[in-house]
Each structure stands twice: as C-alpha cells, then as structure tokens.
A = this chain, B = another copy of it.
Amino acid sequence: MCELLGMSANVPTDIVFSFTGLMQRGGRTGPHRDGWGIGFYEGRGLRLFQDPQASADSEVARLVQTYPIKSTAVIGHIRQANVGAVSLANTHPFVRELWGRNWCFAHNGQLKGFTPASGFYQPVGDTDSEAAFCDLLNRLRSRFDSAVEPDAILPVLVAACEEYRALGVFNCLLSNGDWLFSYCSTKLAHITRRAPFGPATLKDADLTVDFHAETTPDDVVSVIATEPLTDNENWQLYQPGEWILWRDGEVVAQG
C-alpha cells in the first residue's frame, strides 16, 4: 500500500509541514520505502520531484523539506510497491498533458485483473496505477473534444473510479492545477485550516507549527491524506465511495 498527500489552497502556500510528516512514513515511522514523489503547480507549470528510494533517506526529499515551494495545488505520494518494480518510471505522481494543461495523478491501492482499453495515453511504467490514470484520461479525451468545466467531467471521473474500485482498492488524487479531485475507496482524510488558525503538531516527527504566525486571515488551506498527519486537530474521514472536488481550499462538489 501507499500513502497520499494533497493540498488545495486559495493562496500559494508551502506544504513543508505536511510533507515533513509524510516523509517520515517513507522508511522511518512507516514502511513505504519504495519511492516517493510530489508535484507542485506553479501557474500552469508543474514542478515534480521524485525518487525511487525511501523518502526518509532521500537527498531530494531533504531539499523539498528545506525549500518552501508555494503552490495552490499539490499532489504527493509515498510508495510501498505491490504491482511494478521499484523504479523511477513506477514512481507516483504521474503526469500527462491534456487540453494544454498538466494533469497529475497519484493512487493508493491495487486493482486485480485490470485490462483497460488501449487509447491515446499509454503507461510508461508497469503499475496498475499509471494504467488507471491513462484510462481515465483516455475516457475524458474520447468523451470531450476540448477543455470543459469540472461539472461536466465529474460524472465520467466518478463512474470510472467506481469501476476501478470494484477491482480492488482505489483511493486517488487528480488535479489539473485548477481543481483537485479526491476519491476514497477505503481510506482518506481531510482537514481545512482557516482563521482563527492555531498550532498543529505532527504525529510522525517532533514538529509543531503555529499557522497563525504563517498565514493571513483570508487564507483557506485544505490538506488531504491517507491518514491524519497531526494529532491535535480534527480531521474528517472520507466514507468509502465518497469523492470531493476541491478548489481554492474549499469543497466545490462532493458525493
């Protein structure tokens, strides 16, 4: 299994605090030693850091923890391999361009007997996760000729996720930089931080941040994670089959 991390915010926000917690689970407080990756949107660009080695030992992960990259949409992942070798090509998140935007995807779970129809997008590696991502984008592309609002694509996304979920476990995060879609098959949690901000303490590292000192009163920052990352805040658990579309830190649709 793996762990997911997502962020949606209404102002460019750094995710060093949450990332630091997650990275400990990549070989120190958790068993996810088979690679990690994180993608930060900066405007229409996407900055991607990845390593097929344990995040707790990764030089690149140390850089990301000390270099506060600010973004309004982030997708991160730490991997414990089940399908596909440990390699860079099998390291989440995966990225493809669709309709002139970078789409970024990470998955927690596994799919049994998944044999998607071939289409335009093809996996580079050999994970079921990347195959599902390609299948998702192939469905969108075959359904719509050009970019449409998320309202239009949500039914396609949700129907696809339900099909995948029937084959095993399918928790996922997907973003095009504008919005962030999250789907829970078994396990996913979220928290929205807004004024009045307080302190938060990581479960996996000896680190506390006082968000009051780091934010302005109008900031809205939501974090999505496989398991709550802090132990003094009130995380909400997704229900199996529940999905949420986030934009600017807020829930804009759910079901």
Interface residues, chain A, with chain B CB atoms under 8 Å away: 42-48, 50, 52, 59-60, 63, 67, 87-91, 95-97, 99-102, 120-125
For A101, list chain B residues within 8 Å (CB).
Answer: 124
> When the two chains form their complex, are residues B120 and A100 in contact, meaning their CB atoms are under 8 A apart?
no
Q: What are 16 pairs between A and B in contact, CB < 8 Å?
A: A43-B87, A43-B88, A43-B89, A44-B87, A45-B50, A45-B91, A46-B88, A47-B88, A48-B48, A60-B63, A63-B63, A96-B97, A97-B121, A97-B122, A99-B122, A100-B124
In Å, the complex CA distance between A180 and B183 comes to 39
From residue A211, how far is it (CB to closest CB) to chain B in Å? 24
For A100, list chain B residues within 8 Å (CB).
Answer: 122-124
> When the two chains form their complex, are residues B48 and A59 in contact, meaning their CB atoms are under 8 A apart?
no
In Å, the complex CA distance between A44 and B91 comes to 11
For A60, list chain B residues within 8 Å (CB).
Answer: 63, 67
> When the two chains form their complex, are residues B45 and A87 in contact, meaning their CB atoms are under 8 A apart?
yes
> When the two chains form their complex, are residues A59 and B67 in contact, meaning their CB atoms are under 8 A apart?
yes
Q: A42-B87, A43-B87, A45-B50 are in contact. List 19 more A-B contacts (CB 8 A).
A: A42-B88, A44-B89, A44-B124, A44-B125, A45-B52, A45-B87, A45-B88, A45-B89, A45-B91, A45-B124, A45-B125, A46-B88, A47-B88, A59-B63, A95-B95, A96-B97, A100-B124, A101-B124, A102-B124
From residue A145, how far is it (CB to closest CB) to chain B in Å? 11
From residue A134, how far is it (CB to closest CB) to chain B in Å? 9
From residue A143, how far is it (CB to closest CB) to chain B in Å? 15
For A95, list chain B residues within 8 Å (CB).
Answer: 95
Task: Select from chain B the residue with minimum beta-carbon distance to A98.
Answer: B122
In Å, the complex CA distance between A87 and B41 comes to 11
In Å, the complex CA distance between A152 and B52 comes to 33
